[in-house]
């Protein structure tokens, strides 16, 4: 989890640096935005705030729906994948380029909570291990998808 996560954070920093850390590029869409992200925004993007008692299965599905809704036209769900969408040439990334707290910082924050939630998941029993492994797989796929977008922008 750590190497790809560090890559996401590095790429996010580079994107913001490219824009001189300005926040004037708009906002991400709010359709299907996870409740945890809304809670963070309602608390003025407090860096210390964390959602409590995240249901990881529900949260990963919410993130997926939100992520898919943020994508430009032409990106289609890849078969047999949780979140991965098609890689198409000449895409205009539009509002995904939004910087600042209402922009891609919200994506990175949601990924951070997802990661923390996975780390906190119990995994001493077979069923718990299976649920955690599924979330790790989904999270890693989401990281790959975000890395693709951040590099493309």
Q: Is the pTM of this model over 0.75?
A: yes
**DSSP code string of 106-144:** HHHHHHHHHHHHHHHS--SSHHHHHHHHHHHHHHHHHHH
The structural domains of the chain, with segments of one domain joined by +, span 2-152
Token pair 């975000």 is found at: 146
Residue 125 pLDDT level (bands cut at 50, 70, 90)? very high
| Residue 129, CA distances (Å) to 53, 123, 142, 145 in order | 18, 4, 20, 24
Bridge partners, residue 77, by sequence: 85
Residue 104 pLDDT level (bands cut at 50, 70, 90)? confident
- Kindly report, residue by residue over 130-148, the tens digit of the pLDDT: 999 999 999 999 999 999 9
- The pLDDT mean for the chain works out to 88
Structure-model confidence comparison of residues 114 and 50, the more confident one:
114
């Amino acid at each position: 989890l750590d190497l790809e996560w560090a890559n996401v954070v590095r790429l996010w920093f580079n994107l913001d640096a490219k824009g001189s850390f300005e926040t004037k590029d708009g906002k991400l869409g709010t359709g299907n935005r996870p409740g945890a992200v809304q809670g963070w925004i309602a608390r003025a993007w407090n860096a210390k705030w964390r959602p409590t008692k995240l249901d990881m299965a529900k949260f990963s599905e919410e993130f997926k729906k939100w992520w898919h809704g943020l994508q430009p036209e032409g990106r289609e769900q890849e078969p047999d994948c949780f979140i991965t969408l098609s890689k198409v040439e000449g895409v205009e990334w539009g509002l995904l380029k939004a910087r600042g707290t209402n922009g891609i910082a919200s994506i990175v924050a949601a990924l951070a909570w997802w990661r923390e939630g996975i780390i906190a998941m119990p995994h001493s029993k077979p069923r718990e291990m299976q649920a955690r492994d599924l979330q790790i797989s989904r999270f890693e796929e989401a990281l790959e998808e975000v890395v693709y977008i951040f590099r493309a922008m």
